[in-house]
A and B are shown apart, each in its own frame.
Chain A
Amino acid sequence: MAGLPCRIVINGELPERYQRAFDGLSLRCHPGCTELSGTLADQSQLQSLLNRLFDLDLQVRSVRTGQECARPDHPGGPP
């Protein structure tokens, strides 16, 4: 099973303790935003993750899945 690689960027920098809030994803802060990345099981999990972000009143800037995630980061700025 390949799983679904994904990368989501939200507005605002989230502190350390949010690392535990999102199963299987790691957080990385960039100026003014936070990037959550990792591999999800499938679209269902992605859907419930997006719902959770909504519940936490976090504003989603971008969502990338699959091959698009492999694109390199721009250092020092939001991807």
Chain B
Amino acid sequence: MQADVLPILIEELDQAARDLVLVLEDYHLAESTPVAESMAFFAESRPARLQLVLSARSDPQLPLGRWRANGQLAEIRAAQLRFDEAEVAAFFGRDGVGGLSRAELVTLTARTEGWPAVLRLAAIILGAQDGTRDFVRAFAGSTRQVADYLTTDVLATVSPDLRGFLLRTSVLPRLCGPLCEAVTGRKASGAILRNLSRAGLFTGPVGLDGRWYRYHQLFAEALRLELEVTEPSLVPELHARASAWFEQDGDLESATEQAIAAWDTRLAGRLIGNQLQPLLGAGHLATIERWLAQLSWPQALQDPELAAARAVAADERSRPEEAGRWLDVAGLGPRQSMTATGVPRGFGTDLLRSFFVAGGVRSAHQAALRAVEEAPVPMWKGAALAGLGQCSYLLGDHDGAAEAARGALALLPDDPNMLSLASGYLALAECHRGSPQRAERVARRIVNLVESRNFALSGTTAMCYTGLGAALTARGYLAEADDRLSLAVELYQDGSPSVWLAHALILLAACRHAAGDTARARQALEEATAILDRIPDPGILPALAASQQGKLLAPTRRPAAYGQELTEREVVVIRLLAAGLSQRDIAAQLVVSPNTVKTQVRTAYRKLGAGTRVQALHQAAKLGIL
């Protein structure tokens, strides 16, 4: 946010060339540490003509002390917001409540501490009855907590019908006519809400379109408590009705929240199962995790549907062991029973096992084979083939991997995650089979797709970068290869050490070695080996690492035909020539001038006793340099 989005925003605001005020109301609701950091940055870098106004119920996590000391901050706190007697009198006067004596005003102000929300309650009660004096006296004499006292009194003034309506709708985060009707069974709920709002009875509009309302927090809390005391068994039922209405209205997120509040495990499982892919694609993993954290009662922890969601969330965070454990829970129950996403449970679990490489490569490979067998429709077969491609590659079966991945690409729908997986491994397999050009084409297509759609980058999408990086290394485009592989490493590093991270590191080591950067190549390889040591059954990766290790340790200087050794740099250049790069390309890759490369090439030819490129490469191959 800070690095990319805010500078653009600040720049555009600056160009507005007029005074602007940015108001953030109820800021405390949005605040978290990352938000606070971005906000502090924005506040301090904003254009001078932009004034920032925040309203919040609690002090925000911003450098208030510093701003205060520098005279940059104007604060309006509780002391100034409180009404004094004159303001209380004016407030009541506006509501048509008059005839209060000075003493009564003083009492009311003191007792309510000048707090507008509570005064409004008092105004309603005063407006509704004749015995002002009695009310004020009783109110003054009571030691009951103020807000609760007045809320109770207000509730006493409404009809039992309306009271029932208020109690039942208090469980909702926001209200509109049709929703309230669905929850309470009361027709014309919209009119009720409008009247409540007009009467100032704690109901205020939300947003500008006049559809939604909300109860003032104090009021809603009191109502909710009252409901829990009088009709506790009704509460889950009300939430369930709300969930159904939100779902029908298309608001799946609110439907999920209501389902959780209703303690309905199955409903929550179905809703979350259906939202996993869309939310993950939009980068909203945190929402899924928040819901799963709330679903913490015993039945919810054993629910297979939710377990599958938990496995996916764990995998997104690159926590493969945890993902594997949840998959075991998800697999409980008959293989043929259907999950929320409409696939047989056995198939669904095996599919995920093949994606997460849960329990080691061999076990995941078995799961992948089963999944391909049992896939219910072509689209799912495509997904299963992507998983098989991964597992086959990791077992060292490059031909099998290529075949499976190609099959996957033919059947897969437009899903960047799965496409990334399939094309990443296809690219890797093609590199092993000696077709780096084809590999690059395959991988780049998906990389472009992912980037053009602004798809959320995660461990799952990183595979296409790994594949592209390998292809580019083989083709000699080392600078871009390093970039792509480093990005993949970064994405995988967010989570715990995994086969994918190790793999990307091995490829990065190969890329750096090809560029002659032996020290950093060794570093990457050491990291990879350390990870692989801790993973049970990582397939062929240790062998790949060992082979790369061998290349690093081998002497880079080789005797030339006429007894003069090629330098390390010259070997690098010859290798890049062999890969098909022009001298200009090589200069770009190694970040040196074309003249330097020209000299190195000439010297290398001389040492190899060659007159042309073909001769030089031939000699180099004979000597085992390539």
Contact = CB atoms under 8 A, between A and B. Distances in A.
A44 to B, nearest CB: 13
Contact of B145 (A20, A31, A55, A58): A58
A15 interface: yes
A13 B142 CA distance: 9
Contacts of B523: none
Residue from the set A17, A21, A32 with the largest chain B CB neighbour count within 10 Å: A17
A56 interface: yes
Contacts of A20: 225, 228-229
A30 to B, nearest CB: 9
A37 interface: no
Interface stretch (B146-154, B452-460, B616-624): B146-154
Interface string A5-22: 000001111110110110
Interface in A16-48: 17-18, 20-21, 31-34
A56 B143 contact: no
B143 A15 contact: no
Contacts of A15: 144, 148, 152
Interface residues of B, number: 18
A76 to B, nearest CB: 13
A57 interface: yes
A48 B294 CA distance: 15
Nearest 10 pairs of A and B residues by beta carbon:
A12-B145, A32-B143, A17-B229, A13-B144, A14-B145, A13-B143, A17-B225, A31-B143, A56-B221, A57-B147
A32 B147 CA distance: 13
Size bin of chain A's contact surface: 10 to 19
B153 to A, nearest CB: 12
A12 B146 contact: yes
B141 to A, nearest CB: 12
Contacts of B146: 12
Contacts of B57: 54
A71 B146 CA distance: 28
A25 B267 CA distance: 32
A1 B228 CA distance: 31
Contact of B144 (A12, A17, A56, A58): A12
B226 A11 contact: no
Contacts of A34: 145
22 contacts: A10-B145, A12-B143, A12-B144, A12-B145, A12-B146, A12-B147, A12-B149, A13-B144, A14-B145, A14-B148, A15-B148, A17-B228, A18-B148, A20-B228, A21-B225, A34-B145, A54-B57, A54-B58, A55-B217, A56-B147, A56-B221, A58-B145
A22 B37 CA distance: 33
